[in-house]
Structure 1
């Protein structure tokens, strides 16, 4: 059983350093991918879309790209 481990926390700067397995990272990436697709469908079904919805989708996409870059470094 894999488990994400908190390696270090820096409360003043609000930075958390995590240790996780490649498979855990892949699971997180897949979850963010699903959230991104769900948000895109929701925006398309509710035209005109809200600024809040578009912002949320942009954040999901940015997170997805960041996670992909991290995943590629361990692949």
Structure 2
């Protein structure tokens, strides 16, 4: 939807992170920090700032470790 450039991204609204976890693992938010830090570096602190949620799940498609859903506002 943003086209071939990220210049049309006005702001990152929300990130939802699903982390493949065991029942005893409770630090999914730390895994999600990597995504949040990358968005801040790519878009800067104002555009990259966002709300977020991090959840542990028992299984993800294709054996993925993490799945990220992102909502962005476009210009």
Relative to the length of structure 2, the TM-score reads: 0.32
- Tell me which of the two structures has the higher relative contact order, counting C-alpha pairs closer than 8 angstroms and 6 or more residues apart: 2
Bigger CA radius of gyration? 1
Task: Kindly indicate which of the two structures has a greater share of residues assigned to helix.
Answer: 1
Structure showing the higher strand proportion among its residues: 2
